[in-house]
Amino acid sequence: MTKSFQRYLRAKRTVDDRALDRRLVKLLREQLADRATDSDGPLRILEIGAGIGTMLARFLDWDVLPAGEVHYTAVDLQSENVARLPDHIRNWAADRQMSVRDGPLVLDSENRRVEIEAVQADAVAHATGTDGEYDLLVGAALLDILDRRELPTLLDPLAPGGLYYFPLTFDGATRFQPSHPADRTVERLYHEHMDGKQGGDSRAGSDVLGRLQRLDGTTLSAVAGSDWVVRPIDGSYPADEAYFLRYILDTIEDAVGEVAGRDFEGLADWLAGRREQVAAAELLYHTHQLDFLGRAVTRRSSGESWPSPRMK
């Protein structure tokens, strides 16, 4: 069995990089630049479900964050993720010869200063308790494991005209190639396990789309697909994506086993074949997901209207 969730988070960095819709990333970059230009203070970003900090590293690699001062609060429920985040960011910065200071963790470059605070907390509880007003709320691969009825509460920390970005939201497809007779049963049981967890939903992306479209006090600026596609290239998987696939198979084994128990005798054969295909660099994996980008336009607690922002 594959063991390290933190290694899985690192391994899926390249998978996520390919999946994220670049049009939405470009729009987010432009709108954050507008907010930084109009703001008198530092840009404030809250990421919930931040893991070990791969989204922050990506934002810096892709130049999403504007020049100037940025305060980045990274919240995660798992203490080990929060503990690993500073080291992940330090290692990332060292590879790019970027200045790093501790107490608090600060990244300095020629035109940008990013102060990072890592917090262990439940996403909804943190959103309820924060007294800050943020320019951007980020939740990657998050809304498929949280109760979507809490979505208005998650958006409460946004400042007037603040942005939200919810990429990589699972939406109902777990597919493998080459095909196997048990594929449909495995997918059905795996999704059934998702649906049975508190807040879980194997069709979360479609549900989020409807909720954000109807939610008072917000606008949904853009939606796009962000499917995971993992495949071998020239006889091997890129980066650490073989580990990513092994972790996915372990997750499916646990989930389907929990739902079906001994009633599904074909699981062992399916898993053995899939693991052999990973080892031989023959397995292809596809998952359907959605990215969401939008903006808060009214103060939810009072209904007070916010000034209309410049739109690109």
Residue 215 has what pLDDT?
Answer: 95
Predicted confidence (pLDDT) at residue 312 exceeds the cutoff of 80: no
**Range 214-224 average pLDDT:** 96
Right CATH number for 5-172+200-229+286-296 from 3.40.50.1370, 3.10.580.10, 3.40.50.720, 3.40.50.150?
A: 3.40.50.150
1: confidence class by pLDDT, cuts 50, 70, 90: low
User: Residue 167: helix, strand or coil by DSSP?
Assistant: strand
- Under 8 Å between Cβ of 161 and 136: no
97 DSSP 8-state letter: T
Strands 284-296, 218-225: pairing is antiparallel
Predicted confidence (pLDDT) at residue 59 exceeds the cutoff of 50: yes
- Rounded-to-integer distance, Cα 10 and Cα 84, Å: 11
Give me the residue spans of the domains in the chain. Answer: 5-172+200-229+286-296
304: confidence class by pLDDT, cuts 50, 70, 90: very low
Predicted confidence (pLDDT) at residue 170 exceeds the cutoff of 60: yes
Predicted confidence (pLDDT) at residue 202 exceeds the cutoff of 70: yes
Structure tokens at 217: 């006090």
Predicted confidence (pLDDT) at residue 299 exceeds the cutoff of 80: no
Predicted confidence (pLDDT) at residue 235 exceeds the cutoff of 90: yes
Q: What is the pTM of this model?
A: 0.93
**Range 168-189 average pLDDT:** 96
Report the amino acid identity of residue 144.
Answer: D
Residue 3 has what pLDDT?
Answer: 75
**Range 82-91 average pLDDT:** 96
Residue 198 has what pLDDT?
Answer: 86
Percent of the chain with pLDDT over 70: 94
- Under 8 Å between Cβ of 130 and 84: no
Predicted confidence (pLDDT) at residue 303 exceeds the cutoff of 80: no
